[in-house]
Homo-oligomer: A and B are copies of this chain.
Amino acid sequence: MEINGVEIEDNFAEAFGIQVSRILVTAATKKLAKVAATEATGYGTSVIGCPAEAGIDCYVPPQETPDGRPGYIIMICNMSKKKLDHELLERIGMCILTAATTAVFDAMEDADEKFKTGHKLKFYGDGYEKVLDIDGRKIHSIPLMSGDFLVESELGIKAGVAGGNLFILAENQPAGLLAADAAVDAIKAVPGAITPFPGGIVASGSKVGSNKYSKFLNASTNEKMCVTLKGEVEGCQIPEDVDGVYEIVIDGVDEAAVKAAMKAGIEAAVKVNGVKQISAGNFGGNLGKYQIKLQELF
């Protein structure tokens, strides 16, 4: 199958279940909201080594937020509900409550359950906290040195999907990178999906386990897809005309969001000069709950 002259490999992305939260961070200005959203979603590329997977979903203009101020919706994810509860509490408490002029609202539709994050954070007010009703939501107002921080009492979580992905195989590294940038721009317009890696892009797709250091290493470089090892490793899977490979990893509130994001990303990537092939990463289909076939997206 080809789109725009680029081969879409007959392959699938293998994805996993994950617990997802989705919150709206508003502030006095778009820039202030971005500052808080960025801090709260940092150090959040993969639960392999980070305490959460996190990213910015989309911007919401002031006309469409509960408090009439500009905001960003962010998603924070973890395999474990308990860890997600902890991450929500700390990432909001340390990175948004502490940021200038912010407020936090629940933005998860059809939540499976609610975490009492706002309820727990209110104690920081040391008895001076108040309860407000904004737009039918129960909001805690916590007095700070700089003014009041507002946070919704309960925040919804849901069983979502992690590890949706696509591989961009290109003539060289810069072409893969530009295509990955374009893919990330397109995915940003898909609600309910994030690309948690730095700038949305993964430079280092891995394999499970290790050949040489298997005693202590759970994951290692995917040597058969490493462009600088072409000709050096057996079973190299990189086509001859490819010298740059980037991966996009996607987490979503559900499989539909991940599929829509993968489709948007692929349609954007194939428009970039020098892109040769789109593929995806999987583990033979034995590990993950979801198998998203690339060719069935179209």
Contacts and interface: CB of A to CB of B under 8 A. Distances in A.
A145 B222 contact: yes
A147 interface: yes
Given A42-B42, A42-B43, A63-B264, A180 B221 contact: no
A182 B277 CA distance: 26
A188 interface: yes
Given A146-B245, A173-B146, A245-B145, A100 B68 contact: no
A36 to B, nearest CB: 5
Interface string A119-162: 00001111110000000000000111111110000000000000
Interface stretch (A12-20, A251-259, A268-276): A268-276
Contact of A43 (B39, B48, B61, B213): B39
Interface in A87-112: 90-91, 93-102
Contact of A68 (B50, B173, B225, B267): B267
Nearest to A209: B126
A121 to B, nearest CB: 11
Given A93-B49, A149-B203, A221-B144, A128 B38 contact: no
A239 B87 CA distance: 37
A220 B49 contact: no
Nearest to A210: B126
| Chain A, interface residues (CB within 8 Å), range | 35 or more
A175 B210 contact: no
Contacts of A212: 126-127
A217 interface: yes
Given A68-B267, A94-B49, A100 B274 contact: no
Nearest to A69: B271
Contact of A100 (B28, B171, B201): B201
A145 B100 contact: no
A6 interface: no
B90 A49 contact: yes
Nearest to A91: B43
29 contacts: A28-B272, A29-B185, A30-B185, A30-B188, A36-B199, A39-B199, A42-B42, A42-B95, A43-B95, A62-B185, A62-B268, A68-B267, A69-B271, A98-B203, A100-B180, A101-B203, A123-B220, A124-B217, A125-B221, A126-B217, A144-B221, A145-B202, A147-B273, A148-B228, A171-B274, A172-B175, A172-B273, A173-B175, A177-B178
Given A125-B220, A144-B221, A147-B244, 20 more contacts: A29-B185, A39-B42, A41-B43, A42-B43, A50-B94, A61-B188, A62-B186, A62-B267, A69-B182, A98-B197, A100-B203, A144-B205, A145-B247, A146-B203, A147-B203, A172-B175, A174-B178, A174-B273, A174-B274, A243-B274
